[in-house]
Structure 1
Amino acid sequence: MATKSPLTNDHGQTGFHDCFDLLRNAPIGFFISTPEFSHSAITPRSSYLKVNPALAKMYGYSTPEELIGSITDIARQVYASADDRTKLSRILENQEEVANYECVLRRRDGSEFWASINARAVRDETGDIIQYHGFMTDITDRKRAEQELRQSEAKHRGQFETMSLAVIYYDGDGKVISANPAAERMFGASESQMIGTKQMIPHWKVLDEDGKRLSEAQLPTASALQTGQMVGPVVREIIHSENQLNYWLSITAVPIFFSGEKTPFQVYAIFEDITERKNKEIQQKYDIEELRETRKSLELRLQQAEKMNALSRISAGVAHEILNPLNIISLEMQIFKSMDSLPPGMQEEVDVCIKQIERIVAIADNLKQFSRTSRETLVLSDISSIINELLQMYATQMRIEEVEVSTQYDAQAPSIPVDVNKIDQVLINLLTNALAAMEGMEIKRLDICTRMVRSAGKDYLRIEVADTGTGIIKKDLLRVFDPFYTTKDQGKGTGMGLSISHGIVQQHGGKIWAENNRQGGATFFIDLPVNEADKEGQPPRLRDDLNPTCHVTTQQS
């Protein structure tokens, strides 16, 4: 049994007819038309029975009457594709009504437009469709906007997928919603692994330029969402939480708003890998610092060389002037000592004088060291053996003072050419200073080691003597090798020991310097060259062509 439309009366006429005059001035196009389908056959043509002015205008006609008189075959004259009319008719046949059916229609002048059709089939008492009642709206502008949006999205997606910079989109809660292939490559994670995570960069720690780890609230994306303003570009270091790989990135976060809104609903971040550039900047910074330190060191060495040159000239003259009259005094003392008539008490006084003369001679010999007049032959020697012999000499003192001694020697170190007596003098100075520095300390430890190093294309044997004493304050660290400079109490040091040691090491073609160590004490370093015999088969000789210079570093523990 056929079902009547709610708009159908008992005479087969619909209420739509009755109210059509009320819809005449509506801005939406209303229509009543004949159908293509009936129970018995397909009607070859369909036409409009009633239309309002809005629909006539939509099709390009001046009046409803002009449209009704002109369109005698809706499927052929109105629809850009007759299949759309056929599809619409079949839906109405089977479902009675259709809502928001979108298709392309044709105007009077042949131009096309998009329309959205809402219609209902009206049947008679036999169940046959006799009319279509409905309305339509012109959606051309909307369809054009949708098309432009699709094209824009496709273009954006193409750029998003192919751009070399990493880009990640986040929603208003800071969760990842999209990531391009560049981001996948940069961060070693697929887009599906990133989506839904709330970290700015999943699996990576973000640090500022000072190395401080940033919380989620301090990240550029969080700031952009909170303030509604673009953040960046800012430089950040990222470190992978598992393999500890690190990169330097330039990050820019840009908020996205709905029209008229002040709160962003999304934010996207652009990541540029600047690791290579940043590493160059860091290296350049280090190079500048190293250049400054080198310049400072050279200035100090020049000042030290000038002092040592002046001292060399003075010490040679002083030693000569002292020894000449001292020889006469010594001779007179020997004559007095040989006299049989000399009273016993006087004999003891003469012995005291002779002993003090010997002391003066020793001091003069130390002064002569700065004149560099001696040219002793160097002997290939095992440095570890020299150190062990000296430690044996100090064994009793160290045991009494409860000093723990640790030695570690490089088993591959060769014998090197040295003046054993002079190297003994250097090491004795260092050991004596170390023991003095550890007086009164709770922990007393002396670490001595040797190892091979290479510098400026040459091999050196390095000797390190480290103590757990009071260390050397910065201002003294710069002057410890100055002649007559001492930090010891008056009467406990002359300030000559390290100066003479420095001169000896320099004459061997080596270097000596001091640093403070992590234990709070001082470490002295000596680099002695590993030389070969000269071409004539003669061992190398002490060098007197060098001005004593000092290499001092100011590293503090």
Structure 2
Amino acid sequence: MSDRLPSPHPDLRTLPLEGVDESTWVDVIHKMDEVYAQLLADEAAREEKNAELERTQQFILSLLTAMSDVLLACDQQGLIEETNAALCALVGRPDAVLRGTPAAALMMGGAQGEDARRMREALAQSQTRRDGAVVEVALADAMGQPVPVDFNCTPRLDHQGRVIGHVCVGRPLGELKRAYRALQEAHEALKRTQAQLLHSEKMASLGRLVAGVAHELNNPISFLLGNVSALRKYADRLEQYLGAVHAGPLPPELAALRQRLRIDAALADLPSVIDGMTEGAHRTADIVNALKRFSVIDRMERGPVDLGQVVEQAIHWVRKGAAPDFRIDWTPPAAPVQVLGSAGQLLQVMLNLIQNAADACAGRPEGRLRITLEPPERPGGKLRLRFADNGPGIAPEHVARVFDPFFTTKPVGKGTGLGLSISYGLIDQHGGHLSLAPAAGGGAEFTVELPVAEAA
């Protein structure tokens, strides 16, 4: 037994005991050695378990320290038994100070406040429900300011399944709101990108169709302009001839016929009729040129344009056309407001918006359109031209489609669905933006944003 530790017992074989021989003492010594060896093994196992327990405690402590959510564990009476670093940093007190204090005392307003009452109710519900309870309360931070926290309180059980306390884990709602706001902004940006891609695809498809249509329309427009020019010359000749024929006294029958046929009124009105036909032909040519934007790059020359004059000209032509009695509230600006662009294209946009308002208010005794011009809010900004009517407005499900090609809310045969789509593209070419929103008093309000000439 030289490799063993020194035996803690004396050599009993030297003790003279009557009736006990040497073999008995040898057995006793062997038993004592076995017990001693077992004690050494148990001691080694205990040290190993202590080391494992220490590692487990360090692991749990590292988890509690790394948690960004606040955590507190309390007993059945609501007294704090354990916290984590996030909670200590939030309330500005160390764990040693927090232990033994009521969890309700951490709430805004103290232990007698409304948040403390809700916290106690949540702990009571957690004691009877295995899935726990959720409560939103406001903790008092280190500066005494309220911090909204969404707590999830669950029961803490012993080895026999009995409730011995509660565990409450919560996250400050400020972080959740920031994350939700960032997610919402990303979602809105994705929706805008998808809408832009869809609109681009629609414009590309429409361009292939319009390219041929615009080319074919040029022929009858040129024919019409040529005939109107010839008609003007013929009218001048007829007027000269009739003036020469009727220069002297007329027979009574011829004079009565001239009066009955209103020859003088026809001759006087003929120039304005020809002018209207000429203007209509030129307007049709402008529309054809605008349609070309869907298929080719617009090469029209641009320069400073007085936007006030463009609006007045558009109002004049709408009133002269199909809506002579349509009320339009418009106050021209005191000084010219110039934008950089094409006068013909901008006139086309204004005509389209005013005519759409007139069509929407048709049949309404008090139908009107209010046009307002707002200067830029800051140097280098964009001016706003608002067209607000009091018509029936546009249904919410149609708002997102009003600028789509071929989409129209007018009856069949009353609209092509291209006016607003073309107007949207023309304003976009001018570095501006065309938008739609419900009008304040009902109806619809279109807003044209354009950079002023200096900023453009």
TM-score range normalised by the length of the shorter chain? 0.5 to 0.7
When the two structures are aligned, how many residues end up with a matched partner? Answer: 354
Q: Is 1:358 aligned to residue 278 of structure 2?
A: yes
Aligned residues of 2:310 and 2:343 also touching (Cα < 8 A): no
Aligned residues of 1:417 and 1:530 also touching (Cα < 8 A): yes
Q: Which amino acid aligns with 1:418?
A: G
1:170–1:498 CA distance, 2 compared to 1 (3 A) = same
Post-superposition shift, 1:176? 5.3
Structure 1: 5+ residue stretches without partners: 1-147, 205-212, 534-539, 541-557
Alignment match, 2:205: 306
Aligned residues of 1:451 and 1:462 also touching (Cα < 8 A): yes
Aligned residues of 2:389 and 2:445 also touching (Cα < 8 A): no
1:500–1:295 CA distance, 2 compared to 1 (3 A) = closer
Q: Deviations over 1:368-390 (max 9, x none)?
A: 33246773341175x6x669968
Aligned residues of 1:462 and 1:525 also touching (Cα < 8 A): no
Aligned residues of 2:135 and 2:152 also touching (Cα < 8 A): no
Which one of 367, 377, 382 corresponds to residue 461 of structure 1? 382
Superposition CA RMSD, Å: 5.8
Q: Is 1:514 aligned to residue 433 of structure 2?
A: no
Q: Which amino acid aligns with 2:341?
A: V
Which one of 159, 166, 179 corresponds to residue 267 of structure 1? 166
Q: Which is greater in Rg?
A: 1
Q: Deviations over 1:2-35 (max 9, x none)?
A: xxxxxxxxxxxxxxxxxxxxxxxxxxxxxxxxxx
1:479–1:377 CA distance, 2 compared to 1 (3 A) = same
Aligned residues of 2:327 and 2:367 also touching (Cα < 8 A): no
Q: Deviations over 1:282-341 (max 9, x none)?
A: 524542442243123211232024314532442243133332255236514642552225
Q: Which amino acid aligns with 1:375?
A: M
Separation in 2, partners of 1:313, 1:182: 69
Alignment match, 1:378: 303
Aligned residues of 2:75 and 2:165 also touching (Cα < 8 A): yes
Aligned residues of 2:75 and 2:81 also touching (Cα < 8 A): no
Which one of 118, 121, 129 corresponds to residue 216 of structure 1? 118
Alignment match, 2:155: 255
Alignment match, 1:423: 346
Q: Is 1:318 aligned to residue 225 of structure 2?
A: no
Q: Is 1:296 aligned to residue 195 of structure 2?
A: yes
More strand by share: 1
The 5-angstrom pairing of residues 63-462 of structure 1 reads: 163=65, 165=67, 166-170=70-74, 172=76, 175=78, 177=80, 180=83, 182-187=86-91, 195-196=101-102, 198=104, 201-202=107-108, 216=118, 221-227=123-129, 229=130, 231=132, 251-257=151-157, 262=162, 264-271=163-170, 279-280=178-179, 283-284=182-183, 286-324=185-223, 326-328=225-227, 330-332=229-231, 334-335=233-234, 338-339=237-238, 340-341=241-242, 344=258, 345=261, 347=263, 348=266, 351=270, 354=274, 357-358=277-278, 360-370=280-290, 371=292, 375-379=300-304, 416-420=339-343, 422-434=345-357, 437=360, 439=364, 448-451=373-376, 461-462=382-383
Q: Is 1:477 aligned to residue 399 of structure 2?
A: yes
Task: State the SS of the aligned residue for 2:340.
Answer: strand
Aligned residues of 1:167 and 1:269 also touching (Cα < 8 A): yes
Separation in 2, partners of 1:477, 1:471: 10
Give the percent of matched residue pairs that are identical in Structure 1 and Structure 2.
Answer: 19
Aligned residues of 1:479 and 1:485 also touching (Cα < 8 A): yes
Task: State the SS of the aligned residue for 1:253.
Answer: strand
Q: Deviations over 1:166-207 (max 9, x none)?
A: 33344546x554674642432468967995574884469xxx
Task: State the SS of the aligned residue for 2:203.
Answer: helix
Aligned residues of 2:303 and 2:342 also touching (Cα < 8 A): yes
More helix by share: 2
Q: Deviations over 1:505-525 (max 9, x none)?
A: 244243323344676543434
